Copies of this chain bind each other. A is one copy, B any other.
Amino acid sequence: MPVNLAPLKAADLHPVPGIRIGVTEAGIRKAHRKDLTVMLLDTDASVSAVFTRNRFCAAPVQVCREHLASGRPIRALMINTGNANAGTGAQGMERARASAAALAHILEVAEQQVLPFSTGVIMEPLPIDRIEAGLPAAIADAKEDNWFHAALAIMTTDTVPKACSVQVPVGGTTVTITGVSKGAGMIRPNMATMLGFMATDAKVAPKVMQQLARELADASFNRITIDGDTSTNDSFVVIATNKAAHAQVDSLDSADGKSLKTAMLEVARQLAHAIVRDGEGATKFIAITVQGGRTPAECRTVAYAIAHSALVKTAFFASDPNLGRILAAVGYAGIDDLEQSGIELFLDDVHVATRGGRHPNYLEADGQRVMKQSEITVRVDLGRGGATDTVWTCDLSHEYVTINADYRS
């Protein structure tokens, strides 16, 4: 059961003019499930993306990077589940290229204008024949009002489809932002991978697209963690179809740029948070804010140390205000000149520790009250600067071990 995630309704997802989506059953790993998605873009679209930093990145990630670097306008995305095409060596690269070439051939565009994405088992050959065979049906299914089915078709071990859509005024007209994501938390490199695709019909200068994708990812998908395992296939794609009638957004610092980015960030965050809320075995959604640091990077380092601590995560699962575990994680985060005497710790509104020791007014009953909630904010003040950062994570439960120990059998 995802943590506080409202069921997705198809009617909630606004189509984005300029992008059509089709899905089909290609039988890549299992029969009778939609496992191949195409996103077809009109000629004016701009596309940018952010990929996994895993050096063992999958073949399709490498191909996407090459195709984006070619500078040719992207005309289609293709996403298969059931096979990650990772850990597949030279053959994997050949097949990733061949899959893009197959779609390009049908669409009569260049191979570099197609971006391939894969998610599923690692170290198994990509069944390129099935993907090629499935493409015509996926293309035939393509329509603007198909985001809900894309959300379903890109699922692997997700328990629910994940999508978000908003409409906001930009430059005097209403633009749409719609996105889908998948992943039960970067925690299953086998059937794993975090994928996020968002599109808007807003008119955005191509030169700011990469900045936009980077800034959106950094404040959403790059701030979530389930257990610290980074998949080989993680990808986040931002598409502007440029169909809206407003004046082009040339800078993210302009009034229109800020409005658009704020709305897109809301969608990106909801897509990212949905992955944490659906994290394997998750029973709690936890925001970890670290403030008072010298730099945001330092705050992030501490926040991730807390978020990755198996001890902290099991304590949240147990609703046990065993908060020394959080202080210990702060201490080993790797800030060499950190002074304990400057540390303050809060659990929601409860002041747990001050100057590195237990707060004189702290009562375990107050900590217990907060720990029992399904949404919790941990706030640490490092007391050495003005920077802040936040990451989001979930707890570590028996169900996590069950899922990851038993999954392939």
Contacts and interface: CB of A to CB of B under 8 A. Distances in A.
Interface stretch (A138-146, A208-216, A287-295, A350-358): A350-358
A189 B325 contact: yes
B320 A405 contact: yes
A12 interface: no
Contacts of A296: none
A91 interface: yes
Contact of A328 (B92, B232, B315, B317): B232
Oligomeric state, in copies: 2
A302 to B, nearest CB: 10
Interface string A326-344: 0111111101101111010
A339 to B, nearest CB: 8
Interface stretch (A28-36, A107-115, A247-255, A396-404): A396-404
A405 B317 contact: yes
The listed residue with most B CB atoms (<10 A of its CB), out of A190, A338, A339, is A190
A331 B57 contact: yes
Given A229-B329, A310-B228, A330-B56, A87 B318 contact: no
Given A53-B332, A88-B358, A322-B407, 18 more contacts: A55-B335, A55-B336, A56-B343, A57-B340, A88-B357, A89-B358, A122-B324, A123-B357, A188-B311, A190-B324, A229-B311, A229-B328, A232-B327, A311-B404, A318-B405, A318-B409, A398-B405, A401-B401
A327 to B, nearest CB: 5
